[in-house]
Structure formats: structure tokens, C-alpha cells
Chains A and B, each alone.
Chain A
Amino acid sequence: MPHIDWVIVADLAFLDRQMRPCMVGVRTRLVVPALPVVLRQLMMVVHVIEPAPGEAMDLGVVVSTPTGRLAMPDGPGNVLMEMAEEHVLVTLRDLPLTEEGPYRFAAYLGEYGVVVDVPVFVVPTELRSMEAH
């Protein structure tokens, strides 16, 4: 029975010529200069174990705020899903961030899901540039 093994949140993900996932900028936290802010693009990579070849999968993704509100991007074409063998790449465009704290990125296959919490921190730009030096 297909089930989700892991979910990773990254800036960019793609499949190479051998259909293996590649991930650039895996996110374990999101540092933003101020809130609210809209992230231009974030991607989720969902690894599904034992997918049934040729059969449709009832897979869904949800992003929720630290206070449990839905934080999915608005507008058509802002949530794109690509499936290839045992991987699902989800592109989230214009993702609204409105609160500090752990945002929950969840992928569900049927009733069962895997969640990844990515905390959002506000760090003013001046402080970040001081850290860099």
C-alpha cells in the first residue's frame, strides 16, 4: 500500500535524468525581514513508498500557520504538482507568511500524512547584514 516516507521543503527541487530528486536550499527555517511577506516560490518534495504504477494517487498538501490557519497560495496555478514514479514535486508560488512561528507543511495520502514544521523568524535586514560581516 503506498505511503509517504518523507517530505522535504526546499527553495528548488527537480528530477535529474535518472529520475532522482535534487534539492537546492533545504529549509529547516525561514528567515524573513518583516511580516507579512509573500514568498515567491517554495517547493515540497514528497517521497512515496510503493506507489501503484499507473494508478491515481489521492495526494494532497496543506500549509498552515502557527495558529492553525490555512496558508495556501491564492490564485490559479500557484500550486503545481508533478508526479514521477515515487516522487511528487509540489511548487508553491506566492506563499503568504503572516505570523512568526512554525509553519506546518503537510502531505497526505488518503488519511495518513507526514508533516514538516518550518519555523519562520523575523530578522531585520540590518541585523542580517551585520551577521554576514
Chain B
Amino acid sequence: MATVDSVVICDLAYFDRFDRLCMFGVETAGSVARLPAGIHRLSIVVRVPSRDPYDDPDVAVFLTLPYGEWRVAEGLSEFWVESRGEYVLIHFPRVALQDEGLYRVEVTCGGSEVATCEVHVLSRSNWPARTHSHATH
């Protein structure tokens, strides 16, 4: 069985043209990220040192919502996956974290043990507002 070495949640992750992993806004407050309620883009980076880089990562994602509802996330519509070497990226382009409470994301890659990320959603968060600035010419 493949062993998951680490799993982190971040704002954005991708592989560059040289297949090197890039990660932005890595949440490391334990395994719990705190976010304001809303729609978010998230990436989960799973490191599986023992995986064969030529194998399909065969990712399954399970979501547990704050009120205990449990469901399997549907690939393509809810997330998509890419992998290079020992890293597997799971992208959630639009994940609805509407209710306050703890969201649990459980991930397995090719029959590996389950890796867990937790996202604590606060309806009123002290998290600084994220702003997008656009240059004007």
C-alpha cells in the first residue's frame, strides 16, 4: 500500500513547465485551515514517496460537512487531479464552504491510506480580506 507522507491545503498549487511543484498560501496551522464562509478555490497537495510516477493516481475524495453529512466528491465536476513524481495535486476550482463549522476532506491515492485535511469555516472571520488590485494604464 502506498503511504502518504504529507498532505497540505493551499490557495493554489501547480506544476511548472519543468514539472516542479509550486505552492502558494500553504495552510499549516495544524491540518486545519480557517476560512470565511463562501466559495473558495483550494488545492490539496499529497506527497506519496512510494508511488510509481507512471501510474494513474486514482484519487478518491470524501467530504464530511459540518452537520455530519458525508459524501463522495465527484471527479471532473468538483475536482481534478494531476501528478508528477511523488506529488499528487487535487484542485477544487470552486468549493462551496457556506456553513460555519468543520469540513473534513479525506483523500486516498491509488489505495493509499486515507489522508485528512480539515477546513474550519467561520461566518465572521478575522482573516484579512483578500483584495485583487488591477493596474490601470
Residues of A participating in the B interface, judged by any CB pair closer than 8 Å: 5-6, 11, 16-18, 20-28, 47, 49, 86-87
Cross-chain contact B28 with A22 (CB below 8 angstroms):
no
Known contacts A6-B6, A25-B16, A28-B86; A20 and B21 CB within 8 A of each other:
no
Contacts of A26 in B (CB 8 A): 20-23, 87
B54 on the interface (CB 8 Å rule)? no
- Nearest Cβ in chain A — how far from B130, in angstroms? 9
B67 on the interface (CB 8 Å rule)? no
Cross-chain contact A20 with B22 (CB below 8 angstroms):
no
Contacts of A28 in B (CB 8 A): 21, 85-87
Cross-chain contact B28 with A86 (CB below 8 angstroms):
yes
CB within 8 Å of A: which B29-82 residues: 29-30
- Nearest Cβ in chain A — how far from B42, in angstroms? 13
The residue on A at minimum CB distance from B16 is A25
Contacts of A11 in B (CB 8 A): 20
Q: Per a CB cutoff under 8 Å, which of B18, B20, B26, B86 touches A20?
A: B26
Q: List 26 A-B contacts (CB under 8 A).
A: A5-B28, A6-B6, A11-B20, A16-B24, A16-B25, A18-B127, A20-B10, A20-B28, A21-B23, A21-B26, A21-B28, A22-B23, A22-B24, A23-B23, A24-B16, A25-B16, A25-B18, A25-B20, A26-B22, A26-B23, A26-B87, A27-B20, A28-B85, A28-B86, A28-B87, A49-B30
